[in-house]
Structure 1
Amino acid sequence: MLTPRDRNKTTTALAGVEPVVGSKSAAAQRVQYFLSESCWDPDRVNARRLELLLAQGATAPHAGGVLVIDDSGDRKDGTATAHVGRQWLGRYGKTDSGIVTVSTLWADERLYYPLHARPYTPARHFARGKSDAAFRTKWQIAVELAGRDVTAGMAFRAVLADCAFGDLDDFRGELRTAGLGWVVAVRPKHGTWAYGADA
Structure 2
Amino acid sequence: MTGLLLPRDRNKTLTCLVSTEPVVGAQHRSVQRLQFFLSESTWDHEKVNARRVEMLLADPATAPHPGGVLVIDDSGDPKDENATAHVGKQYLGSVGKIDRGVVTVTTCWADERVYYPLHAVPYTSAHHFPNGKNDPGFRTKLQIGAALARQAKEAGVVLRAAAADCAYGDQDGFRRELADAGLPFVMAIKPRHGAWAYGGQAYTPVDAARALA
Residues in 2 aligned to 1:32 and 1:53: alpha-carbon distance in whole angstroms = 28
How much identity, in percent, do the aligned residues show? 56
Residue 191 (structure 1) shift? 3.5
Answer with 48-57 or 21-30: which moved more.
21-30
1:140 maps to which residue? 143
Which residue type is aligned with residue 77 of structure 1? D
Gap regions ≥5 residues in structure 1:
none
Residues in 1 aligned to 2:121 and 2:11: alpha-carbon distance in whole angstroms = 15
Deviations 1:99-158, CA, capped at 9 Å, x for gaps: 100000111110011100000000001111111111100010000001110110000010
Q: Does the aligned pair in 1 maintain the 2:104–2:121 contact within 8 Å? A: yes
Which residue type is aligned with residue 54 of structure 1? L
2:65 maps to which residue? 62
Whether 2:63 is the aligned partner of 1:53: answer no
Gap regions ≥5 residues in structure 2:
209-213
* Root mean square deviation of aligned Cα: 2.8
Residue 24 (structure 1) shift? 5.7
The structure number with the bigger radius of gyration is: 2
2:158 maps to which residue? 155
Which residue type is aligned with residue 119 of structure 2? H
2:211 maps to which residue? none
Residue 164 (structure 1) shift? 1.4
Residues in 2 aligned to 1:9 and 1:148: alpha-carbon distance in whole angstroms = 30
Residues in 2 aligned to 1:152 and 1:33: alpha-carbon distance in whole angstroms = 30
Which residue type is aligned with residue 115 of structure 1? L
Of the three residues 76, 79, 99, the one matched with 2:79 is 76
1:188 maps to which residue? 191
Whether 2:172 is the aligned partner of 1:169: answer yes
What's the TM-score once normalised by structure 2's chain length? 0.80
Answer with 96-105 or 168-177: which moved more.
168-177
- Residues 94/129 of structure 1: CA separation in 2 closer, same or farther (3 Å cut): same
